[in-house]
Amino acid sequence: MVVRLAMGWRHLLFESWPVDPELMDSHLPAALEADRHDGSAWLSVVPFTNVAVRPERLPKQVGIRLPEVNVRTYVTHDDVPSVYFFSLDAQGLASVVGARLFHHLPYYYARISLEQTDGRVRFSSRRRHPGARPGQYEATYRPTGEPFDAPSDPLAEFLVERYRFYTEAPNGSIRYTDVRHEPWTLYPAEASVETDTLLRAGGFARPDSAPVYYYSPGVDVVASRSNELEGRR
């Protein structure tokens, strides 16, 4: 039996662009529809680190650290605002294998570093997964301005206040995981992205428009087991 997982998400950058909803729908399973804000679908790259990843009932001290970067969009099913993952690159080989086997998530093994210096986060990821399309992401980012509660801003709320994640399993089934945590606290952010081939690896051209950046110091999270969306293959 797969138990619920507890973890912390820390030092997150949300790098996001508006995109054509029809383009996004063409990349999604038929069961899911691209969610819209001001008429646009949205595509995001999110680097961060997981901390204290463990079964829910175990103490934080036994948890592991797992730096990660994911490529995602925003979807709805039965009027539930959710996230859809195209890819998740992570540092820990055993954790990647476990996430693929037990949570049916499209994780890829990568070599990742995340360092903090003088209030800036330096993130670097290079995919090393056998047989996978190459993907690399390198960025430096930091918070700017004053913190705010994500639900107080319509776009920020659209991008981060989502408590269900979808993905497509190798057998074509649609899987989902529910999470619970406190509402997000965000900051405006600035970022310098030196390299990004993750979008291309996922079948997207990196948009020409300037992205919207938000930073969060993080939240503590509990994630449910993976469930199959009934009747969707």
Chain segment 54-80, per-residue pLDDT in tens: 889 899 999 889 999 999 999 999 999
Domains of the chain, each with CATH number or no CATH: 5-228 (2.40.400.10)
Q: Are strands 120-127 and 136-143 parallel, antiparallel or unpaired?
A: antiparallel
Task: Summarize the confidence of residues 35-54 as an average pLDDT.
Answer: 96
User: What is residue 233's predicted lDDT score, i.e. its pLDDT?
Assistant: 47
Gap between the Cα atoms of 60 and 146, Å rounded? 30
Q: What are phi and psi of 66, to 5 degrees?
A: -145, 90
Gap between the Cα atoms of 46 and 69, Å rounded? 5
Per-residue tokens: 164: 């269900």
* Cβ atoms within 10 Å of 105's Cβ, excluding its own: 21
222: Cβ–Cβ under 8 A, 6 or more apart, which residues?
Answer: 4, 5, 6, 56, 179, 180, 181
On whether the CB atoms of residues 157 and 184 are closer than 8 A, the answer is no
Number of residues assigned to the chain: 233
User: What is residue 103's predicted lDDT score, i.e. its pLDDT?
Assistant: 58
Region at 67 (left for phi over 0; alpha for psi -120 to 50; beta for the rest): beta
User: What is residue 169's predicted lDDT score, i.e. its pLDDT?
Assistant: 82
Chain segment 149-195, per-residue pLDDT in tens: 999 999 999 999 999 999 988 788 899 999 999 999 999 999 999 99
pTM for the whole thing?
Answer: 0.94
User: What is residue 100's predicted lDDT score, i.e. its pLDDT?
Assistant: 57
Chain segment 101-145, per-residue pLDDT in tens: 555 678 889 999 999 999 999 999 999 998 889 999 999 999 999
User: What is residue 97's predicted lDDT score, i.e. its pLDDT?
Assistant: 52
| Residue 96 confidence (pLDDT) above 60 | no
pLDDT band at 94; cut points 50, 70, 90? low
